[in-house]
Structure 1
Amino acid sequence: MGEPLLVVVCGVPEQEEERIRAAAPDAEVVFAARTAEVADRLPDAHVVAGNLEAAGLAAAGRLRWVHSWAAGVDGALYPEMVASPVVLTSSKGNGAVPLAEHALMLMLMLDRDAPRWLRAQGSRSWDRHRHGELAGATCGIVGMGGAGTALARRAAAFDMRVLGLRRRPDQQVPEVDRMYGPGEVTDFVAESDFVVVTAALTAQSRGLLGDAAFRAMKPTAFYVCVSRGGIADDTALLTALQDGGIAGAGLDAHAVEPLPPDSPFWSLPNVIVTPHNGATTAQTQRRGVDIFVDNLTRFVAGEPLRNVVDKHAGY
């Protein structure tokens, strides 16, 4: 490179700093809570790990690589970044396990109407009721990346039939009984007792589930979203929930976050809302640092990086 490597790392816990330094022992590594705190170093930075806005990108004339701590990079793909030659990598895969677990938790809670038990507990009522079971039901997963694949394994272990929807349906997953393409959305949702979104938000996936999709779903089916809001059209989803077009929804990811206090989703009796919290685990953060440390070692050695984002595809 001809000049000392400067790596700016933002938003990692102190206990991870030594691992990062060890991956680039001859580099200057600067740590901060936020990128804004090290704005004066950006003009000399070769690598930035963390949230880098357009102004920071413009200032970083020597920048070669940006790493996002998030698995989904829709927020990082502003026009200047898309047009830039700077390589963008993601932490894709770091939250696959907890997202799959969170989706499964929401599926169980919806199927058994767990909020009813919580309400009964609050009033000390012995409220026994007939509920469902996941075995024999069909789980339709939108997006077959890390989280979708992890959920497919867990759903299959619950003796569920598993369907997948992905951009390239020719790419099969062992636990998935049938794969659908984007042009088969209505057929896919019509077969599913649970439609679970684990996909990235891209130009192609935004609004993928609209009026036609929710009208095609069974009235006994549930919608679950653990990756990104906006893949389902909120107006169409709200109509389906209010009119009995579907039985309920479990929403961890929302089109607007935080979910506004006046959002009707908060108060619908057939909706469970969680605050985009499904992958907020220590292990998720650790796996994200693992990905960056491995990539930093590769960058120093001049080797290809993992998790390079196709800026035009959106993931």
Structure 2
Amino acid sequence: MAGHLLMTLPFPKPEPLLKAFQGAFPDLKVTFLRHEVKPAEAFVKQDMYIPPEILREATHLMTFGVVPDPTDAPNLRYIHFSVAGTDHVAHKAVFKDPKITITTSTGGPSIALAEWIMGSILGLTRQLFQYKDLQNKRTWGSSAPPPFTLDGKKMGIVGYGSIGRQVARLAQAFSMDVVVYNSRPRLTAEDRKDRNWYQAGSGDPDGTIPSAYFHGQSREDLHKFLSQNLDVLVLALPLTPATKHLIGEEELSILNANSPALLVNVARGPVVYQEALIASLKKGAAGGGLLGAALDVTDPEPLPTESELWGLPNVFITPHISSSTTQTVMRAYKILQDNLVRQLKGEELFNVIKKGSA
């Protein structure tokens, strides 16, 4: 494979991996330029100096969020994002360039995200965070009884993609009932198969874990799903104009109508109307609101210090790091390598979100 692969990533230069790339693709020139920001900041800090001669020569790009203008990179034909979501750069001109194919690392972060989700749920349901506070105070005390163990409880997942499938796999191991909601119908066994890249032994490749599939694009369809007596609601869907503020006051009221639920958001902050979320959390279980929430994403990011979310006792917040593990990064490289092999063979690439004409 001839060409020039440019990598602009917020990680240290992976020397052994680059040597492996060079061995697998001896005719492919590889240039690694570190984006000198923290990984979590790379979603919003997208400016980076790249020598013009490198941009002009680059045919392939692996990036977190540094995306050149097509006029500055006339030979660019393929972009692979080291993350699963692209809403932070979807407005860039490369997304409209008909010559450029774009893929993502969907499937790479799923294992880490699912572990974060289940760990956060356990931290809230078993009062682990409160016990850590007691430990910090050197107090051998007791907290409130755990609201519930997870066996026999119902988890609803909005967005049954790679992340949702791995969450379902773990939830099944806890003997939970899983139901899912997608915008498009998954009516047949063939429809329910995972077409994206996934780590062997992970996820739900055949889509057989959920006890029920729901779908729709209207509020009525979503409300029907939220009325299924859910104990836990996991949001793992992309942010689009249609999903902004998908969960608001009415949706939270329906979710908590019969019993207080936990809400977990690893999608994007604006998927939830944050003022409604805060109001429901302040009501709490006793007042008809949420039992609690685990948030790896907020609106905005970073979350301002004056936000009420910080001080609520039934909330667990992390700064958009649920997928940040060494293995996640390595899987992003693996997906790119798999796609380069497929490109050489003329096969369909994994995780294509935009197919170029050349």
TM normalised by structure 2 equals 0.81
| Matched AA of 1:144 | Y
Cα distance in 2 for partners of 1:268, 1:33 equals: 38
| Matched AA of 1:19 | A
Secondary structure at the counterpart of residue 141 of structure 1 = strand
Cα distance in 1 for partners of 2:65, 2:266 equals: 24
Aligned mate of 2:240, from 167, 182, 202: 202
| Matched AA of 1:6 | H
Deviation, 1:300, is 3.7
Cα distance in 2 for partners of 1:142, 1:38 equals: 42
Secondary structure at the counterpart of residue 324 of structure 2 = coil
Q: 1:78 maps to what in 2? A: 91
Q: 2:140 maps to what in 1? A: 126
Q: 2:43 maps to what in 1? A: none
Cα distance in 2 for partners of 1:143, 1:52 equals: 23
Q: Deviations over 1:210-250 (max 9, x none)?
A: 22211111252110112322211112211211223211100
Alignment of 1:282-301 (within 5 A): 282-301=326-345
Q: Once the two structures are aligned, what percentage of the paired residues are identical?
A: 31
Indicate how the Cα distance of structure 1 residues 226 and 26 shifts in structure 2: closer, same or farther if over 3 A, else same.
same
Q: Is 20-29 or 141-150 further displaced after alignment?
A: 20-29
Cα distance in 2 for partners of 1:63, 1:288 equals: 20
Indicate how the Cα distance of structure 1 residues 23 and 263 shifts in structure 2: closer, same or farther if over 3 A, else same.
farther
Aligned mate of 2:353, from 306, 309, 313: 309
Indicate how the Cα distance of structure 1 residues 29 and 43 shifts in structure 2: closer, same or farther if over 3 A, else same.
same
Q: Deviations over 1:281-302 (max 9, x none)?
A: 1111111100011112233444
Aligned mate of 1:177, from 203, 208, 211: 211
Deviation, 1:168, is 2.0
Aligned mate of 2:108, from 48, 71, 94: 94
Deviation, 1:6, is 1.6
Aligned mate of 2:162, from 129, 143, 146: 146
Q: Which has the higher helix share?
A: 1
Contact kept? 1:210, 1:236, Cα under 8 Å: yes
Deviation, 1:43, is 1.6
Alignment of 1:1-315 (within 5 A): 5-11=3-9, 13-34=14-35, 36-51=49-64, 53=66, 55-85=68-98, 86-128=100-142, 129-131=144-146, 132-170=148-186, 171-172=191-192, 173-182=207-216, 183=218, 184-190=221-227, 191-218=229-256, 219-244=259-284, 245-310=289-354
Aligned residues: 309
| Matched AA of 1:304 | E
Cα distance in 2 for partners of 1:52, 1:39 equals: 18
Deviation, 1:104, is 0.5
Secondary structure at the counterpart of residue 278 of structure 1 = coil
Cα distance in 1 for partners of 2:94, 2:269 equals: 22
Q: Deviations over 1:90-134 (max 9, x none)?
A: 011001111111111111111122221112112222333311211
Secondary structure at the counterpart of residue 131 of structure 2 = helix
Contact kept? 1:9, 1:49, Cα under 8 Å: yes
Secondary structure at the counterpart of residue 71 of structure 2 = helix
Contact kept? 2:8, 2:66, Cα under 8 Å: no
Cα distance in 2 for partners of 1:149, 1:185 equals: 19
Deviation, 1:80, is 1.6
Contact kept? 2:180, 2:213, Cα under 8 Å: yes
Cα distance in 1 for partners of 2:113, 2:170 equals: 11
Deviation, 1:61, is 1.1
- Structure 1 unaligned blocks of 5 or more: none
Q: Is 247-256 or 297-306 further displaced after alignment?
A: 297-306
- Structure 2 unaligned blocks of 5 or more: 36-47, 193-206
